Amino acid sequence: MLEVRLGDFRRALEGGALEPGSFDVVATDPPYGRARMDLWDALADLSAAVLRPGGMLMAYAGQAHLDAELAALSRRLEYRWTLAVELRGSHGIVRGFMNSWKPVVVYARPPAGRPPLRPVLPDLIRGSGEDKRFHKWGQPASEMVPVLGALAGLVAPGRAARVLDPMAGGGGILAACAELGFDCLGYEVDPRAFAALTERFRASPAGRAADGSGRAASLQE
């Protein structure tokens, strides 16, 4: 089952719409930049609340403010690793560096314990190119399939994982979850992006979000 809710995930957490300790993985692509560090602090609080003990957070990050992003997440979670997604083509020069990769940081909710030896999670992902069909900052679902599959194998072996994307954007992560057969829930605060999500997954909104902030759509690919 794939569900998307229109609303601010921070209100959902405050309003009790998300059950504590009910998700195996939080996977998302937050806005980058110093001006939106409040979202990274909120992401840390959310993940610490809704992840099961040992559950994993994976988040795309930006190099320019990676120090602040890591500091925000490390307040509540245990750092595990940084994955590298290789970019295709030219992606510009940032602070004098040619940007040819993007980080995906991996954290765990304590107490995490020692991870098992299998499955092995690769830390270099061959980027599959841009996918801006549904959102200007959209990520391709294909590059997240192996990462999400491996993370779910670590924390939910032998069963379908439950995944939350609190900033769903164009739905790339949700599409990867659907491909893997996971139960997934996404939040999106922008009504236009939400409309694009419902169109992407060919569904119509039904009902209200549990936090009262907007519509909820049950989506099936």
**CA distance to 5, 124, 187, 192, per residue, from 169 (Å):** 12, 23, 9, 10
Closest C-alpha to 85, from 109, 57, 62: 62
Q: What is residue 96's predicted lDDT score, i.e. its pLDDT?
A: 80
Q: What own/partner pairs with CB < 8 Å and gap ≥ 24 does 192-196 have?
A: 193/134, 193/135, 193/168, 193/169, 194/4, 194/6, 196/134, 196/135, 196/170, 196/171
Phi first, then psi, for residue 199 (nearest 5°) are -70, -40
Per-residue pLDDT of the chain (221 residues; tens, 9 = 90+): 899 999 999 998 888 899 999 999 999 999 877 778 899 999 999 999 999 999 999 999 988 899 999 999 999 999 999 999 887 765 677 778 877 888 999 999 998 666 665 666 778 887 665 555 544 555 666 788 888 988 888 888 888 999 999 999 888 899 999 999 999 999 999 998 898 888 888 643 432 333 333 444 444 33
Q: What's the DSSP call for residue 34?
A: G
Q: How many domains does the chain have?
A: 1
| Residue type (1 letter), 135 | H
Range of the domain at 116: 2-219
List the CATH number of the domain containing 185. 3.40.50.150
DSSP H or E run through 13: helix 9-15
Name the pairing type of β-strands 162-165 and 23-28.
parallel
Cα 219 to Cα 183: distance, rounded to the nearest angstrom: 11
Tokens of 97: 């560096």
